[in-house]
Amino acid sequence: RLHSEAIKKFSIVLGNSTASSSTREDAFVWKLALLGWQSHFEEAERVYQKAHREMPWSLKILNRRAWLYCNQKLYKKGIDEFIKISAIVPNNEDAFQGKIFAWRSRTDVPEAEKFVEAENVVQDAIKHQRNNRAILPAILNERIQFYLNQKEK
């Protein structure tokens, strides 16, 4: 219920032609996130298309699309989207975290391959984020989650 109310509020913001670009971008991102969490993927795709037409430069919106694929368990597509973001901004922390999450969540590849690919992303993130200590906890948390998943199997 709270998600539905929040989606309505974000729709009001998006309908306001005087809202700043930054405000609209955040409203798109949060609306997409909420729709994904509620598994309203068709509506999320329509909102994404509108957001992307309006703000094709927005890494936040591109990032949210990648997470929408992950919400749908389409992890390969999610990884492909995160790779596109990395091509634009090689040290994008959200892309690193998303790629690690998607690799550890995949069920269509052998465990050994998932581990190697996720660890490669962790190492790449550490290399690119060496001077950004703020992101390291999120990256290392994804690594810990992956190790915990390994122990459970």
- Average pLDDT, consecutive stretches of 10 residues, N- to C-terminus, the chain (153 residues): 76 79 91 94 96 95 97 97 93 90 93 90 83 70 76 62
Residue 91 · residue 124 · CB < 8 Å:
no
Residue-wise pLDDT tens digits, 81-97? 999 999 998 888 899 99
Please tell me the distance from the alpha carbon of residue 65 to that of residue 92, in angstroms, as a whole number: 15
- Compute how many other C-beta atoms are within 10 angstroms of the C-beta atom of residue 67: 22
Q: How confident is the model at residue 52, as a pLDDT?
A: 96
Sign of CA dihedral 69, 29, 141, 123: positive
Nearest to 32 by CA among 18, 15, 52: 52
pLDDT for position 135: 64
Instruction: Give pLDDT, residue 9.
Output: 79
pLDDT given for residue 132 in this prediction = 66
Integer Cα distance of 97 and 102 in angstroms: 9
Q: Could you say which DSSP state residue 109 is in?
A: S
- pLDDT at 53 (0 to 100): 95
